[in-house]
Each structure stands twice: as C-alpha cells, then as structure tokens.
Chains A and B, each alone.
Chain A
Amino acid sequence: MTHRILIIDDEDDIRQVAAMSLETVAGWDVLLASSGKQGIERASTEQPDAILLDVMMPEMDGPTTLLKLKANGSTSHIPVLLLTAKVQGPDQRKFAELGVAATLFKPFDPLTLARQISAALGWKEGG
C-alpha cells in the first residue's frame, strides 16, 4: 500500500532529503509544506495518511501547528510525528502531552526513515 505523507519543515534541504528518502526507499507519495500555516492548509485539503512536522520553525512552530491540526475537525484524525533536533527530556514529555503519535530525531537516517515512521504508526514495513 502506498502511503501519503505531508512533510512540514522550514528547511529546504531537510524537506528534500526526507522526500527523497520516503519516495525512493518506501515508494510513498510525499507532500511538502515550508511553514505551519501552509502545512495546515495542505493537510486539510489533501488529507495525508500522516504528517511529519518540524518543531522549530519561524512564525508558527511545530507544537503550535500541532495544536491547530488537532483542533481542526478535518485534520484532527491525522497522526502527527514530530521531527526535532532537540533531545532533552522535558521537551519529550511536552510533546507527548500534545498528542503526537511519535517523536523522531534529527539527524535521521534517510535509509531507515520510512521504517521508523511505519513502526511508530503500526504500518506494515515498506509502506
């Protein structure tokens, strides 16, 4: 089964590496957004199977974007995985309280990113 993933990250190179990884390794369809606002719009209109959301973004950060996604009836059901370069414990507890499906860490291994997402969401490996 081909999954559709929305990647929300303000960093162009991270978006591109993650997209290459998920498309090449798992054969998934990838949607891209460079800001929380754009991501919410794309999630609402295109209904991806999951969202990979960066934490530290200008204007609207990841946790704020997550809260808006969860408060919106058309996107509240979509599982969200946070992607963060932060590894501190208090951040992890805060993210869990916000209702994330999982937290993944930067740097990520492009070869195993799809496997990590599948494992976190209970999807069969390989998409």
Chain B
Amino acid sequence: MSNRDRISPDENRHSVAGKSSPTQAPDAQSQEQKLQTMISALWDRSRHTVVERAAMLRTAGDLLLANRLDQATQQSAVDSAHKLAGVLGTFGLPRGTDLAREAEVLFGQSTPPGKVEIERLQVLLAELTRLIDRGPIGSS
C-alpha cells in the first residue's frame, strides 16, 4: 500500500501534507518538499507523545463508561485533547484535530455526559487512534 493510499482526501487540507501542485514553480516545490521531509521526520520523533495522549484519552473514556472518572483525570483528558487538537492538523491530520476538539468538548462538560455522548466518545476515540496509527502522508 502506498502512502497515498493510506489516508483519505479529507486528511489533505494542508498542502504541506500532500504533493506539490503541478502549477508551482520548481523553487516552491522544492521548498515544500524540503519542509514536508522535515515535518515527517519530526512526526516520527514526536509520535510517541501523540500516541501517549491518545492512550490517555482512551483510559479516561473507559473510566467515564464505568462511571469512575475523577475530576483530575477528567481535566487531564481535556488538556490532552486540547494539545492533540492543536498539533494533529499541523502535522497534516486535520480530521484528527476535529476529533480531538470533539473529545475536548465531551470531556469538558460540567455535567456528566449521557449514554449517547459516552458512546460517541468511544467511537471518536477509536477513529482517532486509527488515524494516529496510520500517521500523515510521508511518515514511516
């Protein structure tokens, strides 16, 4: 499977995450490719932090499902989701940003989420994990 097959078109809102446009000047293409290579290398180095944050969210989601989520863990989940929302799109995973933002809102509610919201959280955290496992285009 090629890198281009690993990700949906929605994952490619940032041009840096995809191929250069054929209409770009060679210098701009070269600049974009150089930046993409650097960012891919940085993703490989910092991936473990992203994976840890996603794992933290899944743990908090499981605790919520079991009605055992304490306030400190809830706040950690909000913080982790916020950090993921900020970083995933920058690395070329805009769908990951959308999912993390939704998780931030669901974990940050002042009233306990209902059954439908908890189920939605489980679904979106599973999708978020799959996205991070695949990584952006060009990552190893």
Contact = CB atoms under 8 A, between A and B. Distances in A.
Given A17-B39, A20-B35, A110-B90, A85 B85 contact: yes
A111 interface: yes
A16 interface: yes
Interface stretch (A41-49, A59-67, A101-109, A117-125): A101-109
Given A13-B49, A20-B42, A106 B35 contact: no
A13 B35 contact: no
Nearest to B85: A85
A109 B14 contact: yes
Contact of A24 (B14, B38, B82, B90): B38
Interface string A1-41: 00000000001111011001100110000000000000000
B83 A11 contact: yes
A78 interface: no
Nearest to A18: B90
B101 to A, nearest CB: 8
Pick the most buried of A17, A56, A85: most chain B CB atoms within 10 A of its CB.
A85
B87 A111 contact: no
Interface residues of A, number: 18
A25 B38 CA distance: 12
B81 to A, nearest CB: 10
B42 A13 contact: yes
Interface string B79-114: 100110111111100100100010000000000000
Contacts of B90: 14, 17, 106-110
A108 B46 CA distance: 17
27 contacts: A11-B86, A13-B42, A13-B46, A14-B87, A16-B46, A17-B39, A17-B90, A21-B35, A24-B34, A24-B38, A25-B35, A56-B82, A85-B82, A85-B83, A85-B86, A85-B101, A106-B87, A106-B89, A107-B14, A107-B85, A107-B89, A107-B90, A107-B91, A110-B35, A111-B14, A111-B16, A111-B32
Given A20-B35, A107-B94, 9 more contacts: A13-B87, A14-B90, A20-B38, A24-B35, A56-B79, A106-B85, A107-B89, A107-B97, A109-B14
Interface of A: 11-14, 16-17, 20-21, 24-25, 56, 85, 106-111
Interface of B: 14-16, 31-32, 34-35, 38-39, 42, 46, 49, 79, 82-83, 85-91, 94, 97, 101
